Amino acid sequence: MKKILNDPAAVVAQSLLGLAAAHPDLLRVTTDPAVVSRADGPRPGKVAVVSGGGSGHEPLHGGFVGPGMLDAACPGAVFTSPTPDQIQAAVSRVDGGAGVLLLVKNYTGDVLNFETAAELLAADGVDVRTVLIDDDVAVRDSLYTAGRRGVGATVLVEKVVGAAAEAGADLATCERVARAAVAGARSMGIALTAPTVPHVGEPSFTLADDEMEVGIGIHGEPGRRRERLTDADGVVAALLEPVLADLPFAAGDEVLLFTNSMGGTPLLELYLAHGIAEQSLVDKGITVTRRLVGPYVTSLEMQGMSLTLLRLDDELTRLWDAPVRTAALRWGA
C-alpha cells in the first residue's frame, strides 16, 4: 500500500482537520464526534438537510456542506456508516426548528444507524423525515437483496433538496423533491482497479490488466460480473444501456447526465467517456440539458467510472441551477 498517511486509524479525523483548514469561511468541523456543518448554521426557520455515510467517497458528503446544499454531514470510518450519536450531533448543530430531512444511501449499515438516530431524534421532539437513495441498477431490487445501493444520484439529490430548503421550502416539500429526484435517477458503475482501504492495507479485490468489474458499488465490494475490458465505446455502452432500460428513459426526455470518476480515473478519460455518452443520448433522441463531470462520488483511489441519468422537469432544473457554495460544488453564489 502506498498512501499519504500517518496513522490509518486517524485518517478520517486528520482529513477532516484539513477540510476545515481549507474552508474556514464555509465549514465548522469536529472530529469527536465527526461532524461537518455549515459555518452559518443553524438557520432559524430553515429545514435542515443532513446526510452522511462512510468516508472514502470524498467529496461526498462533507464537500457538499454549505449554502444551497447540505447543512451538515457525518462521516463514518472508511466505508463504514456513521453512528446514531454522530447523526444526532450533526442534527443538533443545524436544526433550525423547521424540521430535519435525512438523506440516506441505501445500505444495511447506513439504514440501521440513521433509523436508530431518527427514532431518538423523534423522541426528543424533532420533526425528522428520511429519504433513502437507491439508484444503482446493477443490483436487482427484490425481496432477495438489501435493495439497490445509493451511488451517483446522491450528489444530485443533495443539490436539489438543498436548493429547495435554502429557498424556504417546508419539510414536506423538501421530502417530496427528494423522492422525485430519487425516482427519476438511475446509475451504473464499472471498476478497472480496486480501492485499498487504509486500515486493510491491500486492494479489496484483484483484476487482471485486461479485466473490468461491471456493476460495482462504491465500497470495493465486487460487482455482478467480470468481463474483458473493452474500449471506451464499449464501457459507456455497458453503463448506459442498463440505465436507460431501467427507468426507462425514452426519446423526448430531458436529462441531467452525471459522468463520475471513482477517484482514480483522470479527467482526460472521463471527458472522453462523457462525450461518447452525450452522443449516444443524442442518437436516442434524449436531450441532455444539464451535466456534471468529475470525481464527486468516489471509492478511494479506485479507477473506474459511473454514469447517472436524472430525468429533469422544470422544478428539478430550476433547483439544480440555483446558487450553491460548497467545497466541491459552487456556482451562482
Reading the block at residue 190, the C-alpha cell is 464499472
Closest C-alpha among 163, 155, 113, 109 to residue 133 = 155
Smallest gap, in angstroms, from Cβ of residue 203 to other proteins?
9
User: Is 112 or 282 the residue whose CB approaches other proteins more closely?
Assistant: 112
User: Which residue is it, cell 456543518?
Assistant: 37
Classified as helix, coil or strand, 32 is: coil
23 has catalytic annotation? no
Catalytic one among 23, 57, 61, 274? 57
Encode burial over 212-222: b for 16+ CB neighbours within 10 A, e otherwise.
bbbbbbbbbee
Smallest gap, in angstroms, from Cβ of residue 143 to other proteins?
8
Smallest gap, in angstroms, from Cβ of residue 140 to other proteins?
7
User: Is 204 or 326 the residue whose CB approaches other proteins more closely?
Assistant: 204
Q: Are 161 and 110 in contact (CB under 8 A)?
A: no
Smallest gap, in angstroms, from Cβ of residue 147 to other proteins?
9
User: Is 109 or 234 the residue whose CB approaches other proteins more closely?
Assistant: 109
199 has catalytic annotation? no
| Angle (nearest 5°) at CA 131 between 93 and 108 | 95
Distance (Å, whole) CA 80 – CA 103: 16
Q: Are 219 and 199 in contact (CB under 8 A)?
A: no
Q: Residues interacting with other proteins, by CB under 8 A?
A: 9, 54, 76-86, 107-109, 112-113, 116, 138-140, 143-146, 149, 197, 199-200, 204-205, 217, 219-222, 224
Q: Are 11 and 59 in contact (CB under 8 A)?
A: no
User: Is 184 or 220 the residue whose CB approaches other proteins more closely?
Assistant: 220
User: Is 79 or 249 the residue whose CB approaches other proteins more closely?
Assistant: 79
Smallest gap, in angstroms, from Cβ of residue 78 to other proteins?
7
Count the helix, strand and coil residues of the chain and give each as a percent rounded to the nearest 5: 35, 25, 40
Catalytic center residues: 57, 219
